[in-house]
Amino acid sequence: MPRDRPRDEDDEEEAENFWKGLARDLLVAAIIVVVFLAAIYLYTGVWPPLVVVESASMQHSDQESFLGVIDTGDMVFQQAAPTRADVVTYLEGRATGYATYGDYGDVIIFRRAGNPTPVIHRAIMYITLYANGTASVPDLAGISNWTATGDTGPTTTPFYLRSVTINAMGFRHDFGIRFDFANFGGFGARSGYITMGDNNAPGYDTSWLPRQGDIIGRARGEIPWFGLLKLTLQPTDSCCAGWGDEGGLSDQGAPKNSWDSLLVSLLFLLALPFILEFAMRGWTKYVSPRLPEIRWPWKRRTKPAATEGDPPEADAESSDEEPWE
């Protein structure tokens, strides 16, 4: 009769197996994370691939957030846009029907000179600005419902304009916005994008005329609410003074339903392992035993070991049953 192993040896083997299993699980988790991040980088071409929205400039309401709209505390992917062809402006989108985040054209992330904080705005139009304060906007030719003035007065051509008024703008299409190119005279002769936050209309950004090289990327996708965790731990001038900050004298805060949705999402993620555990137990106990046994064709039965007293088996050649291996 074999001698039982000492209990100390069993404990040592169990501990060794535990650490081996833990190391294997950590290695698999690390590989999954690396593959996931590599896939994201290949898609975006920018690092870091995610940006947290810190202000309400792109919201479509001051009191409520919406899926499919860029709100304070959302996270968006930024995809590289190194050339002019990579960015669809509002004017181009209006001509073709192309829209993102609730309005025409692409939303871009760019940096202003001397400011490390990225800005996220909609690219309205791409202009060529001249030293005399006029600008050419060729993409105006693709839409209607605009009026413009040049050096000699009203004009219907999109070149050498002093100003242009575009009607039916804004995500509700209820603004007529006049773009005065003299506001950009301080930048000299250059080309760039006029940008605007959806929530700032009819006001457009005159503090910077981002060139193609200033663009970090164009916004893609949305992970709603979870950026509020970062803004709570690392507050900015816009958000957030603390958990649940809906705005006040010192900052803009974030909409209440964003905080509520974030709380529900966190509770769900905490409960998810327990939900899966109970689901697996229920499947194993109640569902799996009632399912018909599946006989896979590539799996053959093996002959059970003979025991003393078993009757002799019939000759396999005269039996209709499956042959044993």
Domain stop point among 224, 244, 279: 224
**pLDDT band for position 319 (50/70/90)?**
very low
> Does the pLDDT value for residue 314 go beyond 70?
no
Lowest mean pLDDT among 19-23, 52-56, 239-243: 19-23
**pLDDT band for position 302 (50/70/90)?**
low
Residue 123, domain member (yes or no):
yes
Q: Are residues 127 and 202 in the same domain?
A: yes
Q: Quote the CA–CA distance of 190 and 192 in Å, as a whole number.
A: 7
> How many residues can be counted in the chain?
325
Domain stop point among 224, 256, 282: 224
Q: Are 53 and 236 in contact (CB under 8 A)?
A: no
**Which residues are CB-neighbours of 54 under 8 A, at least 6 positions away?**
72, 117, 231, 236, 238, 239
Q: Are residues 74 and 151 in the same domain?
A: yes
Which amino acid appears at position 9 of this protein?
E
Q: Quote the CA–CA distance of 79 and 74 in Å, as a whole number.
A: 16
Q: What is the mean pLDDT of residues 6-30?
A: 75
Residue 80, domain member (yes or no):
yes
Q: Specify the pLDDT at position 9.
A: 64
Q: Kindly report, residue by residue over 227-285, the tens digit of the pLDDT.
A: 999 999 999 888 888 898 887 766 788 999 999 999 999 999 999 989 988 888 888 88
**Which is higher by pLDDT, 292 or 95?**
95
> Does the pLDDT value for residue 322 go beyond 50?
no
Residue 235, domain member (yes or no):
no
Q: Are 125 and 89 in contact (CB under 8 A)?
A: yes
Q: Are residues 190 and 78 in the same domain?
A: yes
Q: Specify the pLDDT at position 291.
A: 80
Q: Are residues 134 and 207 in the same domain?
A: yes
Residue 316, domain member (yes or no):
no
Could you tell me what percent of the chain has a pLDDT over 70? 87
Q: Specify the pLDDT at position 197.
A: 97
Q: Are residues 119 and 25 in the same domain?
A: no
- In the chain, the number of structural domains is 2
Q: Are residues 25 and 166 in the same domain?
A: no
Residue 281, domain member (yes or no):
no
Q: Are residues 206 and 182 in the same domain?
A: yes
Output the pTM of the full model: 0.77
Q: Are residues 129 and 216 in the same domain?
A: yes
Q: Are residues 26 and 134 in the same domain?
A: no
Instruction: Tell me phi and psi for residue 215, to 5 degrees.
Output: -85, 125
Q: Are residues 22 and 149 in the same domain?
A: no
Q: Specify the pLDDT at position 316.
A: 44
Residue 105, domain member (yes or no):
yes
What's the per-residue H, E or C state across the chain? CCCCCCHHHHHHHHHHHHHHHHHHHHHHHHHHHHHHHHHHHHHHCCCCCEEECCCCCCCCCCCCCCCCCCCCCCEEEEECCCCHHHCCCHHHHHHHCCEECCEEECEEEECCCCCCCCEEEEEEEEEEECCCCCEECHHHHHCCCEEEEECCEEECCCCCEEEEEEEEECCCCCEEEEEEHHHHHHHCCEEEEEEECHHHCCCCCCCCCCCHHHEEEEEEEEECCCHHHHHHHCCCCCCCCCCCCCCCCCCCCCCHHHHHHHHHHHHHHHHHHHHHHHHHHHHHHHHHHHCCCCCCCCCCCCCCCCCCCCCCCCCHHHCCCCCCC
Q: Specify the pLDDT at position 10.
A: 63
Q: Quote the CA–CA distance of 41 and 290 in Å, as a whole number.
A: 46
Q: Which domain holds residue 60?
A: 50-224
Q: Are residues 31 and 98 in the same domain?
A: no
What residues does 16 pair with on adjacent strands?
none
Q: Specify the pLDDT at position 300.
A: 63
Nearest to 195 by CA among 102, 112, 107: 107
Q: What is the mean pLDDT of residues 112-141?
A: 93
Q: What is the mean pLDDT of residues 140-157?
A: 95
Residue 264, domain member (yes or no):
no
**Which is higher by pLDDT, 41 or 226?**
226
Q: Specify the pLDDT at position 97.
A: 97
pLDDT averaged over every residue in the chain = 87
Domain stop point among 205, 224, 243: 224
75-79 and 161-169 as β-strands: parallel, antiparallel, unpaired? unpaired
Which amino acid appears at position 23 of this protein?
A
Q: Specify the pLDDT at position 162.
A: 97
Lowest mean pLDDT among 4-8, 17-21, 79-83, 185-189: 4-8
Q: Specify the pLDDT at position 33.
A: 84
Q: Are residues 110 and 201 in the same domain?
A: yes
Q: Specify the pLDDT at position 325.
A: 42
Lowest mean pLDDT among 24-28, 122-126, 190-194, 213-217: 24-28
End-to-end CA distance of the chain: 31
- Residue 263: exposed, middle, or buried by beta-carbon count in 10 A (0-12, 13-18, 19+)? middle
**pLDDT band for position 290 (50/70/90)?**
confident
Residue 230, domain member (yes or no):
no
Reading phi first (left if > 0) and then psi (alpha if -120 to 50, else beta), residue 47 is in beta
